């Protein structure tokens, strides 16, 4: 678990939009617009989520992304690992092995076992992983649904409906042509 980047935050927000839109797939462009970010930024995140089995994609005019599993079955840890990779939070450099006092070779007593600093970092990382594993997308979605007023969901449904109407089969009009 490397440093958790903004990709995770945006990825989780996208997944929350999908959790609330189970019946309607959302394109990465729709999800990017909902959050005011670049579609190309999300285009780097969603293949990772798809590979991890968190989302599934459907092609076509009315295609997009859906959750591949119920929100209750998707933990924050899975999302973090899918986006960031399962890398350690702390990368021990075994500095104790290079102490100038030891000369060219450190004695066994100095390097035996896990470094005391690394042991603390491993324990902290495990606590963080346990905490992330204990929270699901459903937990966050439930919290959001309690907080947001009912009118917000009406406006969101209207927005999604308008976006869907704009997706028509066939070729898009040329910039010089009026839309059909």
Looking at residue 47, its pLDDT comes to 95
Q: Return the pLDDT at 169.
A: 55
Q: Give the end-to-end CA distance of the chain in Å, rounded to a whole number.
A: 49
Q: Which residue's entry shows tokens 């591949």?
A: 68
Q: What per-residue confidence (pLDDT) applies to 21?
A: 79
pLDDT at 59: 83
Looking at residue 177, its pLDDT comes to 44
The model's pTM is: 0.80
Regions of the chain where pLDDT drops below 70: 1-2, 61, 167-180
Question: Where does 61-107 have alpha helices with state H?
Answer: 76-84
Instruction: Answer yes or no: are the C-beta atoms of 84 and 8 closer than 8 Å.
Output: yes
Distance of CA 111 to the CA centre of its chain: 38
- Return the pLDDT at 167: 66
Structural Rg of the chain based on CA atoms: 23
Domains recognised in the chain with CATH numbers: 6-165 (1.10.10.10)
Instruction: Assign 115 to helix, strand or coil.
Output: coil
Q: What is the pLDDT of residues 113-129, one digit of tens each?
A: 888 899 999 999 999 99
Residue with the two structure tokens 């040329």: 174
Q: Which residue has the tokens 């209750």?
A: 72
Tell me, what's the pLDDT at 112? 86
């Amino acid at each position: 678990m490397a440093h958790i980047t903004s990709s995770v935050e945006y990825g989780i927000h996208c997944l929350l939009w999908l959790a609330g839109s189970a019946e309607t797939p959302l394109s990465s462009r729709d999800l990017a617009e909902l959050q005011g970010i670049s579609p190309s930024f999300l285009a780097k995140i969603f293949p990772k989520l798809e590979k991890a089995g968190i989302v599934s994609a459907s092609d076509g005019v009315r295609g997009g992304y859906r959750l591949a599993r119920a929100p209750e079955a998707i933990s924050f840890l899975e999302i973090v690992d899918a986006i960031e990779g399962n890398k350690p939070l702390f990368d021990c450099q075994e500095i104790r092995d290079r102490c100038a006092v030891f000369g060219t070779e450190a004695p066994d007593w100095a390097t035996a076992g896990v470094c005391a600093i690394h042991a603390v970092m491993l324990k902290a990382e495990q606590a963080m992983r346990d905490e992330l594993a204990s929270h699901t997308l459903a937990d966050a979605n439930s919290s959001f649904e309690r907080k947001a007023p009912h009118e917000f969901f009406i406006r969101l449904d209207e927005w999604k409906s308008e976006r869907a109407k704009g997706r028509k089969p066939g070729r898009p009009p040329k910039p010089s042509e009026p839309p059909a």
